[in-house]
Structure 1
Amino acid sequence: MSGVGPVEPGEGTHARAVLSAPRPRRGLVAQHFERHRRAVLGTLLATAVLTGGGCLYVTRPRPEPPPPPPYPSQVTAVEYLDPRAAGAATDPRSFSFDVEVTVESDHPVTVTRISQPYAGLSASSSPRTPFRTKAGSPRKITITTRVTECGKVPRNAGLPFLDVTLRNTRAIQKHSFILGSRYAQDLSRALQVACSNDFG
């Protein structure tokens, strides 16, 4: 045998075809995952985004709460206006006068009660309590005091005041308003008329 060339099979032999090695079969779980890999990854990504967003929402800085409204006595004023004219049929034991209630706050204030400090006097108002007053809307109130027992009222009211119970969304407060010297003079004069026999 001579020459150069490929080796040929001898007699009674055959060339074998080289077969590629068979691929190992994947398990059912692996095949299922491969088939749905994109859907699973999308779900995982959406879950991660939602979880991260939820964490950011929970840990976000909280806005400062609005300040509480002021106490009602800090923003309410009561001003004495004038005594009411007494007619001939007026009860001499009663004295009526007007005051103006103003509020300097965005939060309305309700007047729930008005009273006198003296045990021998009763007080009522028109409008009747409770009534509400808000900023920019002063309320004119007529208060009528009546002498119920002359022995329990002073001859001269030095610095008389009104006890007013106020309420807003923050608190309920009882506050004493001094109405000034004009009110003191008018009230003393009315008490002298009402109790002239008792004062002697």
Structure 2
Amino acid sequence: MNGIGPVEPGEDTHVREPAPRPVPTGRLAPLGRLPERHRRAALAAATAVALLAGGGYLYATRPQASPVPALPSPAPRVTAPPYPSQVVDIVYLNETVAEDPGAAAGFRFEVVLSVLSGPPVTVTGIAQPYAGLTVDSTPRPPFRTEAGSSRKIVINMRVTECGKVPGNAGLPFLDVTLRNTRAIQTHSFILGARYAQHLSEALQVACSNDSR
């Protein structure tokens, strides 16, 4: 029979089987060909990458919060200056002798006006409650006194009508009009018992001389 069949191996020869192809193990290796533990690790890594990518996308596309408006700073508190009558004090010093005792029947004395605090205070007027007396002062109003300082004022009272002055001034006072940047006030200052005694004595002397 003619034909060509498979070549029989000769003596001392062997049929050599083809070597198995190596399985790729790099990052391009198909997952189906990786060992089980490698495949699980690769799947976990791919899942983590996907989660990170998805989270980054969600963060980048998140709605932006509206800016919170800044609260207005509180306005500075402005303290009003005190009323002038709250910071002015007047103290009676003593009766003085008139430069010309015969010029007019009356009473001459000194007081000290002090401004304790706040803006300067201006004296715009000095008066007294009796209709039979006139009042003037040195210095003459208006005059101003700074805070923390004092000023001596000489007060002159003259009798114009004895029938309209009391024989005994029990609680006499001075009406002083004061002005500062807060207000204008007329305040009655009671100068004390010594002032009342000296004024009563002066009025009695003045009206006794006038009656003669």
Instruction: Letter of the 1:125 partner, please give it.
Output: S
Residue identity opposite 2:136 in structure 1? S
Q: Offset at 1:92?
A: 4.7
Mapped contact 2:106–2:206 kept (Cα < 8 A)? yes
> Could you tell which deviates more after superposition, 89-98 or 139-148?
89-98
Is 1:129 the equivalent of 2:141? Answer: yes
Question: What is the CA-CA distance between 1:133 and the residue it aligns to?
Answer: 1.1
Question: Given the alignment, which residue of 81, 89, 112 partners 2:124?
Answer: 112
Matching of residues 7-46 of structure 1 within 5 Å = none
Unaligned runs of 5+ in 1: 1-51
Change in Cα spacing, 1:153 to 1:63, as seen in structure 2 (3 Å) is: same
Q: Give 1:179's aligned residue.
A: 191
Question: What's the % identity of the aligned pairs?
Answer: 61
1:143 and 2:155 are equivalent in the alignment: yes
Q: Secondary structure at the match of 1:138?
A: strand
Instruction: Give yes or no for the alignment of 1:192 onto 2:204.
Output: yes
Query: Which residue of structure 2 lines up, in the alignment, with residue 152 of structure 1?
Result: 164
The equivalences for 1:76-91 within 5 A come to: 76-86=88-98, 89-91=101-103
Give the CA deviation at 1:129.
0.2
Is the Cα contact below 8 Å between 2:87 and 2:118 reproduced in 1?
Answer: no
| Separation of aligned partners in 1, 2:116 and 2:108 | 26
Contact preservation (8 Å) 1:192, 1:199: no
Distance (whole Å) between structure 1 residues aligned to residue 184 and residue 109 of structure 2: 25
Instruction: Report the structure number with the largest CA radius of gyration.
Output: 2
> What is residue 78 of structure 2 aligned with on the other side?
66
Extract unaligned runs of 5+ from structure 2: 1-66
Displacement after TM superposition at 1:65 (Å): 3.3
Q: Tell me the TM-score normalised to structure 2 length.
A: 0.63
Question: Quick one: distance in 2 between partners of 1:156 and 1:199?
Answer: 17
Please state whether the residue corresponding to 1:98 is helix, strand or coil: strand
Q: Which residue is 2:107 aligned to? A: 95
AA at the equivalent of 1:134: E
Structure 1 length-normalised TM: 0.67
* 2: CA distance, partners of 1:198 / 1:143: 21
Moved over 6 A (4+): none
Query: Would the aligned equivalents of 1:92 and 1:193 in 2 still touch at CA under 8 Å?
Result: no
Q: 2:149 aligns to what SS in structure 1?
A: coil
**C-alpha separation in 2, matches of 1:124 and 1:92:** 13
Partner of 1:47: none
In the alignment of these two chains, the number of paired residues is: 145
Secondary structure at 1:189 match in 2: helix
Inter-CA distance 129–153: structure 2 relative to 1 (3 Å threshold): same
8 Å CA contact retained: 2:82, 2:118: no
